[in-house]
Amino acid sequence: MCSTIYEPTDFQTNYYKLWDELELAVTIHRTYEGLSSNSLFSMALRVNKKRQFLFVSPLLAKHLAVHPALALGTGTLLASLLMEDAGLPANPHTQEIVRMIETGAPDQKMIEKALDYRSILPERTVFIGMAETATGLGHAVFHHFDEAVYLHTTREEITGLTPSFVFEEEHSHATSHKVYAAEGVLEAAEAIVLIDDEISTGNTLLNLVSALDEQFPGKTYKSLSILDWRNENQQLKLSEMAEERNIRLDVLSLMSGEFSLIHGSSPDELELAPLAGTGSIAPVQLEEPGVLRHHSETGQRYVPFTGRFGLTSAEHQNIGDWAKKAVSSLRTEDTGKRPLVIGVGENMYLPLRFALALSGDPLVQTTTRSPIFASNTDGYPIKEKVKFKLPDANGIDQFLYNLNGLDIDKIYLISESVVIPALWQPLLAYLKEKAPVEWVSLA
């Protein structure tokens, strides 16, 4: 670990009181030089008895809309952290990225230069991003490495395919993760890099590494995350597992510390009616990047660029050209000076690259399964929300947050595939109230 990129924080403790329902003490042990806690997270209440709070990221383009440069730059910074840990030169734009994240002011031209920087790790490496929140982050890290393979975990049930392995995330709203890797990919890997937005207790990481080592022994492991909240006992638990299995597991993050729940209970929330609008908007079908033969139980199809079934570095490099062609094929007179690109569920990275190819000052946000309490309270990050169902989510509730507060003049809804257009109309009718909508189906 290169210690020069970290700075001490004197074990600063911040207290987060969410109304009268919940109070947390968060102590920061160390942070990437130049980054503050305010630039990396805020706190919200989850509608989940297993864990009642959530670290809300202003960088991921999941619960909050962000400029694609911020989301992609976060992946670049984590990739640079991995490069330095492997003894390789860092990305030359890290200080500029830190300033961008800290100020929240996107620098698209700088990010485009930073994205050109790639490296090769000394071991044959597979990158795995965690669904659903870190699929885009994992892909943004992977972008910077040649001669590697990217996968992301998924909650999808794929007809006719047996997962390479399955593991559990106990505290999540949807607990089971599956990985569908092509035969030989995980067997041939010497190192596996696991990317998540946050490590809270380390249990998910422990479950994932244990499941991998059970079926694919002999690997070395790196964990990358924005936040790492494991206390000493939780760190020891992970170290003991690695020692028992005789594996190497290194944990790298932009910020580390620990939190304690002072008191907490879930407030009552009025039942939120799902969106029920109607309409007849039809999707625009893109010819590229093509459709895979796999499909879900509900008939959803998939595109090769997501990484759900594996993506090589060489294949990944086509995504930038794809995004430019996709944007060019949709050009109309009204492209919007402040467009919002909305991805769906696990499909986060392609909307980010699509947005980066747009002109104007774009934002990106993704629908999520994660239910969060909303309150128009000063300082609270989740002001309002809507609930709806989409066919590719297999009947599970989906949410979008804080759209009312966005200054936007165009919306691009990016669907991985569309089987029954009528089932999307309630969401489309809601979006149409905000700005003109262009609906895109990739498959």
Cis peptide upstream of residue 289 (ω within 30 degrees of 0): yes
Percent of the chain surpassing pLDDT 90: 77
Q: Which of 147-156, 173-182, 224-233, 434-443 is the least confident region?
A: 173-182
Q: What is the mean pLDDT of the chain?
A: 91
Q: What was the pLDDT predicted at 392?
A: 63
Q: Which two tokens stand for residue 11?
A: 């074990």
Q: Which of 131-140, 235-244, 331-340 is the least confident region?
A: 331-340
- Backbone torsions φ then ψ of 230, nearest 5 degrees: -70, 135
Q: What was the pLDDT predicted at 248?
A: 97
pLDDT, average across residues 299-321? 95
**Which residue reads 């020069």 in tokens?**
4
What does the alpha-carbon distance between residue 351 and residue 358 come to, in Å, rounded to a whole number? 11
Q: What was the pLDDT predicted at 32?
A: 96
Contact criterion met (CB below 8 Å) for 101 and 70:
yes
pLDDT band at residue 2 under the 50/70/90 scheme:
very low
**What type of residue is 397?**
D
Residue 206 has pLDDT above 90, yes or no: yes
What does the alpha-carbon distance between residue 335 and residue 38 come to, in Å, rounded to a whole number? 33
- Write out the H or E segment, with its range, that includes residue 366: strand 363-366
What does the alpha-carbon distance between residue 88 and residue 357 come to, in Å, rounded to a whole number? 30
What does the alpha-carbon distance between residue 317 and residue 325 come to, in Å, rounded to a whole number? 14
First vs last Cα of the chain: how many Å apart? 42
What does the alpha-carbon distance between residue 262 and residue 236 come to, in Å, rounded to a whole number? 23
Q: Which of 8-17, 252-261, 318-327, 381-390 is the least confident region?
A: 8-17
Residue 428 has pLDDT above 80, yes or no: yes
Enumerate the domain spans of the chain. 284-291+317-441
What does the alpha-carbon distance between residue 403 and residue 63 come to, in Å, rounded to a whole number? 10
The count of other CB atoms within 10 Å of the CB of residue 188 is: 10
* DSSP single-letter state for residue 84: H
For the purposes of burial, counting CB atoms within 10 Å of the CB of 59, is it exposed (0-12), middle (13-18) or buried (19 or more)?
buried
Residue 79 has pLDDT above 80, yes or no: yes
Q: What is the pLDDT of residues 82-109, one digit of tens each?
A: 999 999 999 999 999 999 999 999 999 9
Q: What is the pLDDT of residues 5-54, one digit of tens each?
A: 666 556 678 999 887 778 899 999 999 999 999 999 999 998 877 788 89
* Closest by CA position to 365, among listed 400, 335, 330, 393: 400
Q: What was the pLDDT predicted at 334?
A: 65
Ranges of beta strands (E only) in 135-267 are 148-152, 165-168, 176-179, 191-199, 220-228, 249-264
**Which residue reads 């929300």 in tokens?**
385
**Class of the CATH-defined domain 284-291+317-441:** alpha beta
* Closest by CA position to 132, among listed 92, 93, 90, 174: 174
pTM of the model: 0.95
Q: Which of 11-20, 146-155, 187-196, 339-348 is the least confident region?
A: 11-20
* DSSP single-letter state for residue 141: H
pLDDT, average across residues 411-424? 93
Q: What was the pLDDT predicted at 395?
A: 73
What are the residue ranges of helices labelled H in 181-332?
Answer: 185-188, 203-215, 232-245, 313-316, 319-329
**Three-state SS at 60:** coil
Contact criterion met (CB below 8 Å) for 180 and 196:
no
* Closest by CA position to 127, among listed 186, 50, 44, 46: 186
Q: Which of 114-123, 225-234, 321-330, 348-357 is the least confident region?
A: 321-330
Q: What was the pLDDT predicted at 173?
A: 46
Contact criterion met (CB below 8 Å) for 25 and 15:
yes
What are the residue ranges of helices labelled H in 246-362?
Answer: 313-316, 319-329, 349-356
pLDDT band at residue 169 under the 50/70/90 scheme:
low
288 vs 138, more confident: 138
Percent of the chain surpassing pLDDT 70: 93
* DSSP single-letter state for residue 66: B
**Which residue reads 């392995």 in tokens?**
165
Residue 4 has pLDDT above 50, yes or no: no
Q: What is the pLDDT of residues 382-400, one digit of tens each?
A: 999 999 998 666 678 999 9
Q: What was the pLDDT predicted at 268?
A: 73
pLDDT, average across residues 343-349? 95
What residues form DSSP beta bridges with 18? Answer: 22
pLDDT band at residue 167 under the 50/70/90 scheme:
confident
Q: What is the pLDDT of residues 103-112, one digit of tens each?
A: 999 999 999 9
- Backbone torsions φ then ψ of 193, nearest 5 degrees: -105, 125
- Write out the H or E segment, with its range, that includes residue 38: helix 37-40
What does the alpha-carbon distance between residue 283 and residue 165 come to, in Å, rounded to a whole number? 34
Cis peptide upstream of residue 258 (ω within 30 degrees of 0): no
**Which residue reads 């934002």 in tokens?**
363
64 vs 2, more confident: 64
432 vs 379, more confident: 432
The number of residues making up the chain comes to: 443
